[in-house]
Amino acid sequence: MGSIRDSMLRTDDEATPLKKKLDEFGTFLAKVIAGICVLVWIVNIGHFRDPAHGGFLRGAIHYFKIAVALAVAAIPEGLPAVVTTCLALGTKRMARLNAIVRSLPSVETLGCTTVICSDKTGTLTTNMMSVSKICVVHSIKNGPEVAEFGVSGTTYAPEGFIFDNTGLQLEFPAQLPCLLHIAMCSALCNESLLQYNPDKGNYEKIGESTEVALRVLAEKVGLPGFDSMPSALNMLSKHERASYCNHYWENQFKKVSVLEFSRDRKMMSVLCNHKQMEIMFSKGAPESIISRCTNILCNNDGSTIPMDATLRAELDSRFNSFAGKETLRCLALALKIMPMGQQILSFDDEKDLTFIGLVGMLDPPREEVRNAMISCMTAGIRVIVVTGDNKIKFQSTAESVCRKIGAFDHLVDYVGHSYTAAEFEELPGTQQTMALQRMALLTRVEPSHKRMLVEALQNQNEVVAMTGDGVNDAPALKKADIGVAMGSGTAVAKSASDMVLADDNFATIVAAVAEGRAIYNNTKQFIRYMISSNIGEVVCIFVAAVLGIPDTLAPVQLLWVNLVTDGLPATAIGFNKPDSDVMKAKPRKVLHLLFSLSYLTNQDYV
């Protein structure tokens, strides 16, 4: 936590593009007006002794007042109020789109975003994990025979059935040894909760989505004996049904010790006591669990057989198929009988495991994401999908999801467009620069890699929007030009962000970008409107001063025009709706000028 706080303190808030342009314009305007004021005062030195002024000093003061009036005429006093009003209107419109803006200037920054770095899980997908496939070893009598089971249901509701590979529904899944042990491991090697919310009328999770999916699977497998019959379970209230089977296993097995998940081990283990037996259940990444297994539990008779190279290769093949072609997030489950009386687990215990099965979880892409991706491509915005998923050759879960949502539609192949974080870090400097220009997917990403990615893109003059939801994401969110936190994320991530997505939806970011572009267009229009009026005032006063004719406009009249007469119509321009083709133009350049010399010349002529 200390390093995260230190990283955030070392990150300076970047000025938004509009603020930079307004500051530049203000500096330019101040210099020009100061020069014109001095010029007017100097040009009229010969009129200082005019008898009408009553002396040289009084004449100098008179023309000094004219110079001040000229400055008043040139400076659009109502501009700050109008800009603030326009941005505030934009935040209100964005709030209707479920985008809660925390930093007012960031509203406009969205309009020039060139790269969106988006998390996959929960942003591009529904983040409602559900187990859809189970793979176990059935028998080895006639060679390795692997059985696959399908699981129905794609929500957190503990309602669904298990089918064999012929599509036949299993009436009592818990009678099969592997499915029974999968249910045990899913319930016990788990730190999440599933509960029914009567106000919303649905089941809600507390904890990680993958763990909740395992709890739901344990409910679908059921229990051995009469109570596992669907009719008996259906008699329970929804509150009781949410975790009935899980509570059964938790009552049967007493947790003694836990080895929490870590990124280096990629697994979690729990030691349980059951009827004078000590059993360790483990779950984790298939490549980590399978490599630690020396035995396999058979599904046909519950026997344990040694793991050989043929079985290992078959399991690896099924894992690759689940993760690639079928777009599933995979976990492997295993167990180990421990010595009696053992009370504490160590990392050395996580070896010589018995493989139980492989589960594949589906996190379906959001329906609206594909159209949002198309809008980004049309608008010249590049999307980089950032995820912690593994990359196996070119058939990873993340790449499969990217194909479904259209992130890879513009690519002929994935070579040079898909990297792991480790692969990207190992690239030489020039190759990293080229990779950043082509990258569409970055996998096996840790929070520190997100900040690295943001800095690298900003060094290439990209305007970067980065999503995140965890405490560790806070430095990257603060560093990005637009930090986008999830509504379901941590308070730390939200406090470091510029915008919060109430619905955790990628399509909301794209809608906010369109709104940001519209706000910039409106802002540019009313600023030009106000400046054109001010230029007219300056010309009137300047010409009158040079010709020596009476003042055409008094300072009070100038203030009235600038604050009231110009302010209200300019504010009305801020209400203009976005153009229909606002997302068909390329992002404007950060160095794009609000005003050009030709524009100011035209305004002088008008």
Known catalytic residues are 119
DSSP 189: S
Name the CA radius of gyration of the chain, rounded.
33
What single string gives the DSSP state of each residue in 10-57? T-PPPPPHHHHHHHHHHHHHHHHHHHHHHHHHHHTGGGTT-GGGTSHH
On whether the CB atoms of residues 182 and 333 are closer than 8 A, the answer is: yes
Strand pairing partners for 332?
284, 358
- What residues are paired with 134 via a beta bridge? 149, 359
Q: In Å, how far are 141, 160, 573 from 386, measured between CA atoms?
A: 44, 32, 38
- CA 316 to the chain's CA centroid: 31
Determine how many CB atoms are found less than 10 A away from the CB of residue 113.
25
Three-state DSSP state, 170: coil
State the pairing for strand pair 382-386/418-420.
unpaired
- Please name the residue that has the structure tokens 């379970």: 233
Q: Which two three-digit tokens encode residue 320?
A: 């690759």
Helix/strand/coil for 274: strand
CB 520 within 8 A of CB 588: yes
Show the tokens assigned to 288.
């980590």
User: What ranges in 192-308 are assigned the alpha helix state H?
Assistant: 209-221, 230-234, 238-241, 244-252, 286-292
Phi-psi region for residue 201, left (φ > 0), alpha (ψ -120 to 50) or beta? left
Cβ–Cβ < 8 Å for 113, 464: yes
DSSP-derived 3-state class of residue 61? helix
* DSSP code per residue over 480-540: SSEEEEETTS-HHHHHH-SEEETT--HHHHHHHHHHHHHHHHHHHHHHHHHHHHHHHHHHH
CA–CA distance, 44 with 48 (Å, rounded to integer) = 7
Residue 486: beta bridge partners? 501
What are the b/e assignments for 443-459, b being 16+ CB within 10 Å?
bbbebebbbbbbebbbe
Cα-Cα end-to-end distance for the chain = 60
